[in-house]
Amino acid sequence: MRSEVLVYPGMSGWRFLVLPKKQSEEIKKTFGKHARGWGSLRVSVTVGKTEWKTSIFPDKKSASYILPLKAQVRKAEDIADDDTVQFLIKIQ
């Protein structure tokens, strides 16, 4: 998947990747019944050479899932605001 880095309004310092709507719909349909608090789903993520475990969250504004992009990952992979990032997620 590919997404532009989103600086989330009103949440200083938080960066996210927005999953494509089509994939978000498929994920919700297939895994939505396993959702945890705030509708989150556990995932493992790979960006470049960096891998980590986190959760994706449903976002009403984008009508998609959003993936938190930790500062540690942005630094390791030299990712800046508004960059387009290629990533792989696996639902846990």
Query: Residue 41 is part of a domain; what is its CATH number?
Result: 2.40.30.100
- Count of structural domains, the chain: 1
The pLDDT score that the predictor gives to residue 19 is 97
- Residues 10-60 have pLDDT tens digits of 767 899 999 999 999 999 999 999 999 999 999 999 999 999 999 999 999
Residue entry with tokens 């590919």: 2
The pLDDT score that the predictor gives to residue 11 is 66
- Residues 64-90 have pLDDT tens digits of 999 999 999 999 999 999 899 999 999
- Annotate 68-87 with DSSP letters as a single string: E--HHHHHHTT--TT-EEE-
Whole-structure pTM value = 0.91
| Segments forming the whole domain that contains residue 28 | 2-91
The pLDDT score that the predictor gives to residue 8 is 81
